[in-house]
Structure 1
Amino acid sequence: MATNPKVAIAGVGEARGGRATGKTTVQLYAEAFLDLLADCPIDPASIDGVLTSSPDAEPHHMFSTWLTEYLGLRPRFTSAVQMGGATPHSNMALAAALVESGRCRAVMVADGDNRASKFSRQDKVQAMSSQVGHLSSIEPPHEFDGPYGPTAPALYGMMATRHMYEYGSTPEQFARIAVTFRAHGALNERAQLRKPVTVEDVLASPVIAWPLHRDECALISDWGSAILVTTPEYASTLRRDPVYLLGLGQAHQGYNPYQAPSITSFPIRESADEAFAAAGINRDEVDVLELYDSFTSTAMVTLENMGFCGAGEGGAFVEAGNIDLGGSMPTNTHGGLLSYNGGHGHFIVEATRQLRGECGERQVADAKIAVSQGTAALASSSITLVLGT
């Protein structure tokens, strides 16, 4: 294990999101910021870096600069990044570089959007199309596929059908992932969906894009999250139990899903290998896993590609209870995108809280190493973080 970490997480915060809150995007960011300050007693004037996502529901020119003005911050460095579901993880990598270089001492990585409040039902359908390769446009090469209206669920449904074809996985095995994450969400008072479901319930929910059902698709939510990244030395002055960034890895193969050589094998493995090597750990040393689960198919291929089970073994791995609390690899302990909310930064927040032992009924006993992974562009981009105490 890495014995001299150079970057630490000193605090985390979240907005009360989920279903439509009626709040603006910057209000959700502000709520997460205030929650961060309650968690970590830093003087806001000491925050000298701010990294944000680029909101979809309420886009704004120079968003990160606009947000810092709203929050009353004067950072030395700020930027708004767009890396899809991997945006907070990408910003964590940038924050680590800023801290290690000495450019900044305390960087806030923030993420938020008010999709549930801002988007109409039709807006949500359109967003699922336009966010995946801007497939609704007529710019090359999408003049060929755009007219057919491919959406995010359709593309991830193709991933599931290909997995079923290649490996013999079943709809019941995919549904078992949704059942597990809902069980975890049921233990989380902040989760958007908390009512337990069965495999039969999942398969009886409406088909969105065969073979994916409604309960196998990420939620559309309002959300906000904030993470304070700093040096271990400074973190120790802010709280007694900072969490350390032990390793990170990135891998990217492209943007257009139709150019991918495979839709069951992805750079997820490369990003995980790099992160584990940097942290000096083996996969069996990981205590808790928080992975991007936009659909059950995403979670299935991510478990396999990260190396927690072999290619084609994800279905059996899930059915055996390995991703459950108490299993060999407790996964998405807060409920994930399928049950907690549709945000992205909460994976890192949950990993941090698990390592601090703050998760109550869903706490993984004696958790010392947590992995948080973010995915974008039909899993063609992956960023993996290894966190530890």
Structure 2
Amino acid sequence: MGKNFRDGVVIAGVAESEVGVLPHRTELQLHAQAASRALADAGMTLADVDGVLSIGSSRGTRMPSVQVAEYLGITPSFSDSSSLGGCSFEAYVQHAALAIDAGLCTTCLITYGSTQRSSGAGFGGGADPWLASTQFEGLWGLPMMTGAYALAASRHMHLYGTTREQLAEVAVAARKWAQLNPQAPRHEDLSIEDVLSAPMIATPLGKFDCCLVTDGGGAVVVTKADRARDLPRAPVWLWGSAETHTHASIANMPDLTVTPAAITGPAALKSAGVTPADMDLAMIYDSFTITALMSLEDLGFCGKGEGGAFVSDGRIAPGGDFAMNTQGGGLSYTHPGMYGIFLIVEAVRQIRGEAGARQVATDLALVHGTGGALSAGSTLILGKEARR
């Protein structure tokens, strides 16, 4: 294959901050803690960083990359705080690759921090009066974001016969993976019946169909590929990438059962020169059980309307034949408002063989983030070796 901008970069380091309930931490402290750990993982220091890409979940945080750079003492030559919601970080990897390829910088630090749980600030959307979701959805009592995803789930059930039991398979599988992750807060058993009998949040989504609400942060270091030989750990290569957004408010979603993954999945796979069947691991945003199920369809792992059957009978759980969300996902590991950075962290660890009891054989991984009310999507294809 011919060279493209993705061939010139690698992911050199990844890390999370503390995650959970963290009233003793500020948002900036979580950015900094994750950044320090990721740079240590990469064998680098702040002096190596000349690109900063940051976002947080607090509505009061303005100019996130500027604030993070100031806090860390970095004067970057490239900066980005584009907000695509939870998939911002997958998009940032692509943005970092473009900037490095263009010669704007050599090493990018992607960071995230959120005290959503402790501060009670949340990132649900619909609170600002100028938003369409406030004017035309919240006005009538639609609970955001759960209500938006509940509408999609209801439509999917109506069109394709998807059942609550099939959605519950996603939550149960996530919990089983979390039980293999010592950092996950939820290790208690969870059954299909537990999911079905849990309190309803927004029909048809119950308590366990919804992600956790936590504090936490993460960081990713992207650098020039020619530095790979000097890194303390094997680099992870960017094979493919794509991003898009189709709407902001759920009322303007072109089709309630077709997510932006239907655009970014095929585009990222094409740019990498691979197919869904080539993937050893799928890290797929699971803010809600329906998010993961519809994304699986749109990414090409199964046909539209076949997601329920695809995830059934423990297929995506440990021991199943489709490895997905191996650290427990947003449903059972952590979800501080935006989850996409944690998908990248786990994919890198799996590719490097550092996942411990949850390790699966992984040479190629697909990472897909979702943002907003099924509004935005970004997909990465990550590889153990350089793109052939």
TM-score, length basis structure 1: 0.92
CA contact (8 A) 2:259 2:375 kept: yes
Q: Which amino acid letter does the alignment assign opposite residue 147 of structure 1?
A: L
CA contact (8 A) 2:132 2:249 kept: no
Which residue is 1:137 aligned to? 129
- The structure 1 residue matched to 2:340, chosen from 344, 354, 368, is 344
Question: What is the SS of the residue equivalent to 2:137?
Answer: helix
The equivalences for 1:94-173 within 5 A come to 94-119=95-120, 124=122, 127-128=123-124, 131=125, 134=126, 137=129, 142-150=134-142, 151-173=144-166
Which residue is 1:377 aligned to? 372
Which residue is 2:63 aligned to? 62
Distance 2:174 2:33 in 1: 26
Percent of aligned pairs sharing the same letter: 38
TM-score, length basis structure 2: 0.93
Q: Which amino acid letter does the alignment assign opposite residue 93 of structure 2?
A: M
Note if 1:86 corresponds to 2:79: no
Distance 1:141 1:46 in 2: 42
Which residue is 1:72 aligned to? 73
Which residue is 1:248 aligned to? 241
CA contact (8 A) 1:286 1:329 kept: no
Question: What is the SS of the residue equivalent to 2:81?
Answer: strand
Q: Which moved more, 1:77-86 or 1:106-115?
A: 77-86
Distance 1:140 1:244 in 2: 39
Give 1:135 deviation, angstroms: 6.2
CA contact (8 A) 2:30 2:112 kept: no
Q: Which runs of 5+ in 2 are unaligned?
A: none
Residue-by-residue CA offset, 1:6-31 (whole Å, 9 max, x unaligned):
21001111101122342100111111
Question: What is the SS of the residue equivalent to 1:69?
Answer: helix
CA contact (8 A) 2:340 2:370 kept: no
Give 1:145 deviation, angstroms: 3.0
- RMSD of aligned residue pairs (Cα, Å): 1.8
Distance 1:361 1:61 in 2: 40
Q: 1:144 to 1:266 in 2, by over 3 A?
A: closer
Distance 1:349 1:110 in 2: 12
Distance 1:202 1:190 in 2: 22
Q: 1:143 to 1:60 in 2, by over 3 A?
A: closer
Which residue is 1:283 aligned to? 276
Distance 2:247 2:61 in 1: 26
Distance 1:146 1:180 in 2: 32
Which residue is 2:28 aligned to? 26
Q: Which amino acid letter does the alignment assign opposite residue 100 of structure 1?
A: D
The equivalences for 1:134-283 within 5 A come to 134=126, 137=129, 142-150=134-142, 151-283=144-276
Which residue is 2:14 aligned to? 12
- The structure 2 residue matched to 1:321, chosen from 304, 314, 322, is 314
Q: Following TM superposition, where does structure 1 have runs of at least 4 consecutive aligned residues deviating by more than 4 angstroms?
A: 1-4, 138-142
Distance 1:357 1:144 in 2: 48
Q: Which runs of 5+ in 1 are unaligned?
A: none
Give 1:341 deviation, angstroms: 0.4
